[in-house]
Amino acid sequence: MELAAFQQLMASTYGENDRQRGVPATVAWLAEEVGELAQAVRKGTRAEQEHEFSDVMAWLASLANQIGIDLATVVERYAGGCPRCGTIPCHCPHGTDWT
C-alpha cells in the first residue's frame, strides 16, 4: 500500500475518533506503541514485530492527520539520500546519530 493511501485510509477509519481524542492523547498512544515496538524488536516473534510496526505506522498517520501533515510529502526530505550530506549511502562523519 502506498503511504498516501495508507494515511487516507487511517483518516477514513479513525479520523472521527482521532479528533475526539485530541493531539496530546494521540502523542501519548504513539509513544506507548513505540515502546511496544522496542520490546517486540528485542524479544518478540516476527509476527509480534510486524504487529507493532503496523500499530506505530497507524498511530503516526493518525497524529499526522490531526495536525495536517502529509506523510508522503515529508518523507521527500529523504528522497535525495541523507538530507545532511546529500549522498546515498550517508557519508556524514558520525553516521546517523543526528536528527
What residues make contact with Zn ion under the rule CB under 5 A?
Answer: 82, 84-85, 90, 92
Shortest spacing between CB 76 and Zn ion, in angstroms: 17
The residue (of 57 and 90) whose beta carbon lies closer to Zn ion is 90
The residue (of 41 and 92) whose beta carbon lies closer to Zn ion is 92
* Residue 33 CB partners (closer than 8 Å, separation 6+): 52, 55, 56, 59
* Contact present, 44 and 52 (Cβ < 8 Å): yes
* Contact present, 65 and 18 (Cβ < 8 Å): yes
The residue (of 19 and 84) whose beta carbon lies closer to Zn ion is 84
Closest CA to 6 of 51, 72, 78: 72
Shortest spacing between CB 27 and Zn ion, in angstroms: 28
Shortest spacing between CB 74 and Zn ion, in angstroms: 18
On the 0-12 / 13-18 / 19+ scale of CB atoms within 10 A, 82 is middle
Shortest spacing between CB 72 and Zn ion, in angstroms: 22
**Which residue in the shown chain puts its C-beta closest to Zn ion?**
82
The residue (of 43 and 77) whose beta carbon lies closer to Zn ion is 77
